[in-house]
Amino acid sequence: MFRTYTDYVNKTALTLPDKFIDVRTGESIEVLPKVLEQIEYHSNNSTLIHLVLTALNSYLQPKSINNGNSILLEEIREIKRMMQMGYLPRGNGQMGNGPTQINETSNLDLIEVEDVLEAFGG
């Protein structure tokens, strides 16, 4: 079932189905009640076009990595280091002494990090 939300002040109308196709993955996704709530709120406050443009801007802008994510990047770097060492969890919680095939480049490729974050939902 479709429902149309209208911002008469800015002459903006948005018709929503119950489900939509994610253009990145091709998956069919149900429209969340929180999304409907926000669309209705902005429709009633004549800011529907601003909500749409904000959402498009967030979708089209590449995510920047700032200093606030340094802890996350350090954790990902540690996971990568453990994987390169052949870490196998044991019952006593100690790290295994796997082959030491550590790549000399300890720097983390940010594109690789972005791919991992995208794989887990962003």
Neighbour-count burial for 36-48, b at 16+ CB within 10 Å, e otherwise: eeebeebbeeebb
Which candidate, 83, 59, 2, 78, places its Cα nearest to that of 36? 2
- Bridge partners for 2 per DSSP: none
Angle value at C-alpha 110, between 106 and 115, nearest 5 degrees: 120
On whether the pTM is more than 0.75, the answer is no
Indicate the helix (H) or strand (E) that contains 28: strand 28-30
Model pLDDT for residues 69-122, shown as the tens digit of each residue: 677 777 777 777 777 777 655 555 444 454 444 444 456 677 777 777 776 665
Query: At 110, which amino acid appears?
Result: L
- What pLDDT sits at residue 11? 93
